[in-house]
A and B are shown apart, each in its own frame.
Chain A
Amino acid sequence: MYAARLIDLTKFYYLGDNVVRALRGVSADFPEGDFVAIMGSSGSGKSTLLNLLGALDRPTTGQYILSGYDVGKLDDDDLSEIRNRLIGFIFQSYNLIPQYTVLENIQVPLHYRSDRRTIGSEEMNRCLDLASRVGLSDRLDHRPFQLSGGQQQRVAIARALVNDPEIILADEPTGNLDSATEKEIMDLLTALNREGRTIIMVTHETSVARRARHQIVMKDGLIHSEGMLLTEGEK
């Protein structure tokens, strides 16, 4: 059973007379419970791929099937719902809402659920559980600027999990962190993957990419190579 499938995806940008072929035909399958790292130098098309995977954009041609939905054929409102229900985002720069507390930040995706339900006690407990899961139970009333980078990223992870998404998309999740915190975050992601979560991560750091089950390397808008990096010890 696949969480997400990419079938010959292309994405072209038209800038005046020039056509930028950011993706030139990408096919990949991500089974449920997968943990994949997408690597590649800048301009390789990995950001474009991530935007498509995140349902922030639609492919020019090809299909992106996420949990049975053909994302390329959905309108703007439906894309919003897909992002809300099926995708959990983790960004390099955390992207928390500065005026909200930790708890309020975790709750944000709940407010945008398609039925616009108000947050009940059950969901409240879920938010509190997630906060304790990422080790921030004692910081619920803190605002993002009062937290360290690692703590902010954990809030973002809790937020990504709150709607129980089909896939988690992590865009350079440790790009702004020191190596000790990087390890903490990666341990957390690895633990989540072990619980069965599908994680797609973009990174250019080999040490981070190694923590994934397998790696995809992008080059010039195509998948250049696919496989498994050996951990340091196995070399």
Chain B
Amino acid sequence: MPLANTIRTIRLAFKSLLLHKLRSGLTMLGIVFGVFSVIAMLAIGEGASAQAQQQVLALGATNIIVVTVKPPPDTQQNSSSGGGRRGFSVPQYGLLRSDYDLLTSTLPSISGAVRMREILSEARYLQRTINARLVGSTTEYSDMNHLQLLRGRFLSDQDERDMANVCVLGAETASTLFPLEDPLGQIIQVRTHRYTVIGIMRSRTASAAIGGSMSGQDFNKDIYIPLSTFRVRVGDITFTRLSGTFSAEQVELSQITLKVRDMKDVVATSEVVKESLKRTHGSKSDFDVIVPLELLRQADQIRQIFNIVLGSIAAISLVVGGIGIMNIMLATVTERTREIGIRRALGARQRDIIHQFLTETIVLAGSGGLIGILLGLSTPLAFGGLKGIVNNFVLNQGNGTSQMGKMFTEMEPKIAWWSLPIAFGISVGIGIIFGIYPARSAARMDPIEALRHE
């Protein structure tokens, strides 16, 4: 059948459908919502996974991160070996400097390693303060964590050797302490010590939550000082006063990040790391090994499960829409029995009648699909509005935001472009599947009976 005839058939199908605008519109609605939900759900799924992937990638796909974990209280009691004074014992746990030496000297597959010790501490410049994360580390830290320098310089090996009293500020720390002044060369105070600012980092999105902690790593509130400086100024033992009680703990290193040379060795290396640390730490579960690559795989799996579940829900609504179309087309065929009889008398073959009604169903489903796609494309917009509502009424204006809430508000739905042709194809396919039966029943009518039909 030449193209011009097909176009004519489609045009006439539109004409027949426009004859019953309300009916056609309502029938289409099922497909509209089906396609819309396919696109919207895939967009939300893609958005969530993109967010997760971004966070995991921020940790470094070839990295293995070993972190200190505070062990549960009972084991902590048994294993308290730190220097107690006057009957007061300081529990010691976590990664040791010797762990770092062990790992870097025994693992051939790693290309780099960085150790780090952190505490939360108030930083001060004049009257301005910020609750910052004080990080003691070496010059490799910025590369390992994909941090970018905005101005000045990062910590150097010389700083480490000199135990220099210098610091590099995270973006938020810098803007809070120095809203007006140039921070470079200024001196800030952390606890009782003073550090000269030598560099400022670029702002950076938070990475995925690691270990048991629910909060993602936010590098913007950091203050970096040389690890050697940290050791002499802050020391291994930290004291906490909490409403009369007084506690202390001794930690040598908070985190060791290992960079693996080859992506395929990451998992195997992480197993070795776990085993060798288990040997030195014994039964103390005071560390955790995090493999971002594993997290990435998990995130990918979750995304696939998500897509399948959401896709199935959307598919059900498409099938429901298809049944609605079939129902209406059957009614239409009965209603237009006379027309079918006339066409048969004037020379239409059975397949012409099939062609006509099938085209009508496809046009109906296809238009529904197109409208659904347009609606689907507005998902990011609609989602923005939804976010506003959630922020205002569910999450209480952003106060006390939970991790889930944060995940929701920070997520941007991402239209999966491949889903558009697929959604359209499915809607046309539904038109064909659910249109064939009514079209065939139309074509099989006896022309004489059909002509006599009132």
Query: Hey, which bits of chain A sit against chain B, CB under 8 A?
Result: 51, 54, 56-57, 76-77, 80-81, 83-85, 89, 91, 95-100, 108-109, 111-113, 116, 118, 159, 163
Looking at B336-344, B386-394, B399-407, the stretch in contact with chain A turns out to be B336-344
Prevailing SS type, chain B contact patch: helix
Pairs across A and B, CB under 8 Å, 7 listed: A81-B347, A95-B342, A98-B339, A100-B15, A109-B346, A112-B347, A116-B2
Among B336-384, those with CB < 8 Å from A are 338-339, 341-350, 352
Are A80 and B348 in contact, CB atoms less than 8 angstroms apart?
A: yes
Q: Give, as a whole number of angstroms, the nearest-CB distance from A76 to chain B.
A: 6
**Cβ contacts under 8 Å, B2 to chain A:** 116, 118
Query: Hey, which bits of chain B sit against chain A, CB under 8 A?
Result: 1-2, 4-5, 8, 15-16, 19, 338-339, 341-350, 352, 447-448, 451
Q: How far is the CA of A76 from the CA of B448 in the complex (A)?
A: 13
Q: Give, as a whole number of angstroms, the nearest-CB distance from B291 to chain A.
A: 65
Q: Give, as a whole number of angstroms, the nearest-CB distance from A53 to chain B.
A: 12
Given contacts A54-B345, A80-B344, A83-B345, contact A116 B448 (CB under 8 A): no
Are A80 and B8 in contact, CB atoms less than 8 angstroms apart?
A: no
Closest 7 CB pairs of A and B: A84-B347, A112-B347, A80-B349, A118-B4, A95-B342, A109-B346, A77-B349
Q: How far is the CA of A80 from the CA of B16 in the complex (A)?
A: 23
Q: Which residue of A76, A77, A108, A118 is within 8 Å of B346 (Cβ)?
A: A108
**Cβ contacts under 8 Å, B338 to chain A:** 95
Are A89 and B345 in contact, CB atoms less than 8 angstroms apart?
A: yes
Q: Give, as a whole number of angstroms, the nearest-CB distance from B16 to chain A.
A: 6
Other 15 A-B pairs with CB < 8 A, given A77-B349, A97-B343: A56-B451, A57-B448, A76-B350, A80-B347, A83-B347, A84-B346, A84-B348, A91-B451, A95-B341, A95-B342, A108-B343, A112-B346, A116-B1, A118-B2, A118-B4
Q: How far is the CA of A216 from the CA of B346 in the complex (A)?
A: 26
Q: Give, as a whole number of angstroms, the nearest-CB distance from B307 to chain A.
A: 43
Q: How far is the CA of A10 from the CA of B193 in the complex (A)?
A: 118
Q: How far is the CA of A106 from the CA of B349 in the complex (A)?
A: 18
Given contacts A57-B448, A91-B451, contact A113 B347 (CB under 8 A): yes
**Cβ contacts under 8 Å, A95 to chain B:** 338, 341-342, 345, 451
**Cβ contacts under 8 Å, A54 to chain B:** 345
Q: Which residue of B345, B347, B448 is within 8 Å of A85 (Cβ)?
A: B347
Q: How far is the CA of A95 from the CA of B345 in the complex (A)?
A: 10
Given contacts A57-B448, A111-B8, A116-B1, contact A159 B346 (CB under 8 A): yes
